[in-house]
Structure 1
Amino acid sequence: MRKFDKDGLILCEMQGQVFEMSIETTSTSSEIFIRRFMQSIIAKSLDSGDILQTNIQPKDIFERIVEQYGESKYGSVKYSPNEMYWIGYIYRYFSYTYEKSSSQVYKIIKPKELRKLFFAYHTMDPSQAIERILEAKGYPINEEEELKRQYEIFRRIRKGN
């Protein structure tokens, strides 16, 4: 796990702002925007931290997404600005601290699930919110836990033989 630092904060705030701005800037539903964003080339640039070496602004990110996917008017349900900011922030925090790609994080938890958790979790520290989400989904919280889990599986298999 990576320690949350200044770079992580910059990335989280940027992604939160982009998600929040998407309500007014895009004509797709919030879920479609999130899916496109999380699987985009620009998300990979956020994952690697390369975007920190550029002067790109949140508003410029929309142009990159349209370049990659084209215009879309699919879907109509828009989340609130607060929900979108929090979802963007949480996705980036998860990706940054757990060193997972945006696409991996998106596969673990979908926007609908995060939206349902917004009221209960939005005032929590992001690390606590992510730990609770992972715990509820049965995912290991850290590498040590994962190794223990894998060892137990191996041990049970060996006993069975």
Structure 2
Amino acid sequence: MKKIDSLGLRMCAYQAALFQMSKKSEECSSKIFIRRFMNSELAKRMDNVGFAFESLDVSDAIKEIEEQYGASSYGVNKFDGEELYWIGYIYRYWSYISDKSSKQIYKLIKPEQLRKLYYPYHSMDPLQAIERITEELEPGTNVDISDISKGVIALRKVRRRVAGKQP
């Protein structure tokens, strides 16, 4: 994993603002917008650090996604603006530090899963939040982490067994 730098932080803030703006500017649900974005040509360009030198404003980025996929009014559930901001920030931060593509991170954890983690993790440092989230995920799987406490309890049991404290 690489460390986040000022360029990475600017890209995180850009993607976060893009996700947040989607609530007002898009007719489709937040899940649909995020899926489209994470699989878009724009996200591919953002995965390449050279994107930071483009002068694409957030409104134009949303238009670019609509041009790629077409306008959609599918779905009605919209996430809260702060949730969208945090989800966008976490997705970009994760992609940046791990050198994984947006598409790979999206396959690892879906937006509805991140949304459920917003309240317990949004005030943490992004790296710390990502580390905790990855503790809940098994490699190569997309796990339902809606009940965080069960996952934490199971993780503690495994650690105790490994440490020899519990049979």
Say whether the fold is shared (TM-score over 0.5): yes
1:130 is aligned to 130
Quick check: 1:72 aligned with 2:64? no
Shift of 1:124: 0.4
Structure 1: how far apart are the matches of 2:111 and 2:9? Answer: 21
Shift of 1:68: 0.5
Structure 2: how far apart are the matches of 1:138 and 1:39? Answer: 22
What SS does structure 2 have at the residue aligned with 1:104? helix
Structure 2: how far apart are the matches of 1:54 and 1:138? Answer: 36
Shift of 1:74: 0.3
1:51 is aligned to 51
Shift of 1:53: 1.7
2:105 is aligned to 105
Report the AA paired with residue 64 of structure 1: E
Output the TM-score relative to the length of structure 2: 0.82
Q: String of CA shifts for 1:62-81, please: whole Å, max 9, x gaps.
A: 11101100000000000000
What SS does structure 1 have at the residue aligned with 2:68? helix
Unaligned runs of 5+ residues in structure 1 are 141-161
How is 1:85-104 mapped onto 2 (pairs within 5 angstroms)? 85-104=85-104
Q: CA RMSD in A?
A: 1.1
Q: String of CA shifts for 1:97-128, please: whole Å, max 9, x gaps.
A: 01100000000000010000000000000001
What SS does structure 2 have at the residue aligned with 1:120? helix
Unaligned runs of 5+ residues in structure 2 are 141-167
Give percent identity, aligned residues only: 50
Which 4+ runs in 1 deviate beyond 3 A?
none
Structure 2: how far apart are the matches of 1:117 and 1:52? Answer: 28
1:153 is aligned to none
Structure 2: how far apart are the matches of 1:64 and 1:84? Answer: 19
Output the TM-score relative to the length of structure 1: 0.85
Q: String of CA shifts for 1:47-70, please: whole Å, max 9, x gaps.
A: 002221211111110111011000
Structure 2: how far apart are the matches of 1:139 and 1:4? Answer: 23
Report the AA paired with residue 79 of structure 1: F
What SS does structure 2 have at the residue aligned with 1:72? coil
Structure 1: how far apart are the matches of 2:35 and 2:135? Answer: 23
